[in-house]
């Protein structure tokens, strides 16, 4: 019996979710791994941030091509290609011998990651029943969060002095090819090009796009530079990895409840809530940095709640667009998020140099504070509108 939107095949959902879970593992392993290796080589925080910003640049360059490639070759087929390219480029990052050579490899790695994220999210959003979209996206972000826990866990088990973390990360990504291949016949089909250019979708949902931009700034900066921040305040690499794991566990535990909440609560109100938590968490980290127990608590709740901005934006896109338009809107969403990835690490790295090390957190706080004020302004404008 053919599947419908109200009866999605379980294997289809699982395949897309596992593909993006592998992305979480690859990103959360490679970013802190490379940052700590570069820190050992005494590379400046600004240059570490610029190297990490290849994630954002890759998405901006590759994003417009993802939907046309999926239209021509198929969603599942391109997803498998991107998984293999990501695994190969991760191994390449170990093999190169100079800092400069990591730039093109990181560009290739993150271009493939961009394709995996766009197509996996489109697959889930297009397949999920509308009345349970928040639930399925919450499940998706929960599994993605498990991937983000897996990366630092692998890093703690393998250390940073050998090829082991690179090989382990590549294997996790390659394994995700299997369920995608098995579920390929259930993948949503893209038959036509989007009705409008991808960039127009940015202006149709400015609040969702602003939220994912700020989340992109904070997430990439934390992955890339929280390890450096931790080392500079006197923590060991093992303890830094433990804090990243704690952040990931909070993310895992909060995302499904957040998804259920998205199906029922005001989207604007939730944006204000998540942005305010982001601001308060960034302010709190320097205040409790010398108290390991309190830092665990702050990191747990902070890391658990702020990714709700991402899930919330995806749910809004799924409700507003269908078919190729949804794929293009998802590409625009990822590109705005990636633009945050592009400017976040160097900005946060520069903040760390200006005020070593707590300037990193003040840059993040400023971004979340601006989003909260913008959302409050939107709420005020909405409340002032006369009832119809």
Domains defined along the chain, listed by start: 10-188+200-380 (1.20.1250.20)
* Average pLDDT for the chain: 85
pLDDT, residue 323, reads 80
Cβ atoms of 115 and 78 within 8 Å: the answer is yes
pLDDT, residue 4, reads 43
pLDDT, residue 266, reads 83
Q: Does 21 score more than 70 pLDDT?
A: yes
- pLDDT tens for 169-208 read 999 999 999 999 999 888 888 877 777 777 788 888 888 8
User: In DSSP terms, which residues pair with 7 in a beta bridge?
Assistant: 4
pLDDT, residue 345, reads 81
Read off the pLDDT band of 383 (50, 70, 90): low
- pLDDT tens for 39-91 read 888 787 778 878 877 877 888 888 889 988 998 899 999 999 999 999 999 99
Percent residues over pLDDT 90 in the chain: 31
Whose tokens are 């390659």? That residue is 174
> Among 28, 51, 41, 66, which residue's Cα sits nearest to residue 102?
51
Read off the pLDDT band of 382 (50, 70, 90): low
pTM of full prediction above 0.85? no
Residue 14 tokens read as 């699982």
- pLDDT tens for 313-322 read 888 888 778 8
Helix (H) / strand (E) element for 334: namely: helix 323-354
Q: Is the peptide bond before 366 cis (omega within 30 degrees of 0)?
A: no
pLDDT, residue 7, reads 45
**Quick one: three-class SS letters along 279-322?**
HHHHHHHHHHCCCHHHHHHHHHHHHHHCCHHHHHHHHHHHHHCC
Read off the pLDDT band of 384 (50, 70, 90): low
What whole-number distance in Å separates Cα of residue 7 and Cα of residue 156?
Answer: 40
Average pLDDT over residues 85-109: 91
Q: Does 5 score more than 70 pLDDT?
A: no
> Among 214, 216, 211, which residue's Cα sits nearest to residue 315?
211
pLDDT, residue 306, reads 92
Average pLDDT over residues 244-273: 87
What whole-number distance in Å separates Cα of residue 280 and Cα of residue 369?
Answer: 9
């Amino acid at each position: 019996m053919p599947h419908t939107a109200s009866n999605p095949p379980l294997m289809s959902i699982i395949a897309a979710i596992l593909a993006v879970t592998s992305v979480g593992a690859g990103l959360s392993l490679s970013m802190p791994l490379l940052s700590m290796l570069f820190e050992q080589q005494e590379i400046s925080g600004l240059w570490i941030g610029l190297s990490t910003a290849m994630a954002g640049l890759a998405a901006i360059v590759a994003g417009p091509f993802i939907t046309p490639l999926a239209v021509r070759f198929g969603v599942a087929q391109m997803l498998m290609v991107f998984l293999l390219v990501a695994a190969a480029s991760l191994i390449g990052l170990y093999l190169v011998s100079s800092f400069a050579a990591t730039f093109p490899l990181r560009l290739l790695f993150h271009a493939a990651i961009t394709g995996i994220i766009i197509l996996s999210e489109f697959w889930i959003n297009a397949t999920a029943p509308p009345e349970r979209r928040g639930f399925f996206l919450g499940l998706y972000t929960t599994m993605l969060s498990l991937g983000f826990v897996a990366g630092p866990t692998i890093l703690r088990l393998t250390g940073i002095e050998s090829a082991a973390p690179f090989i382990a990360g590549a294997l996790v990504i390659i394994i995700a090819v299997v369920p995608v291949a098995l579920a390929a016949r259930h993948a949503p089909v893209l038959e036509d090009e989007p009705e409008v250019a991808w960039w127009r979708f940015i202006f149709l949902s400015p609040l969702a796009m602003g939220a994912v931009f700020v989340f992109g700034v904070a997430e990439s900066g934390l992955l890339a530079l929280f390890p450096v921040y931790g080392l500079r305040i006197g923590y060991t690499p093992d303890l830094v990895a433990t804090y990243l794991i704690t952040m990931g566990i909070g993310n895992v535990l909060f995302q499904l409840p957040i998804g259920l909440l998205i199906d029922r609560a005001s989207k604007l109100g939730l944006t204000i809530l998540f942005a305010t938590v982001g601001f308060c968490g960034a302010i709190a980290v320097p205040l409790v940095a010398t108290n390991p127990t309190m830092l665990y608590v702050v990191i747990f709740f902070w890391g658990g709640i702020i990714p709700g901005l991402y899930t919330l934006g995806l749910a809004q896109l799924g409700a507003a667009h269908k078919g190729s338009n949804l794929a293009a809107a998802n590409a625009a969403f990822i590109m705005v998020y990636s633009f945050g990835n592009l400017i976040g690490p160097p900005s946060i790295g520069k903040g760390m140099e200006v005020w070593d090390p707590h300037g990193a957190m003040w840059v993040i706080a400023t971004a979340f504070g601006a989003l909260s004020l913008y959302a409050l302004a939107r709420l005020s404008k909405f409340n002032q509108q006369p009832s119809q």
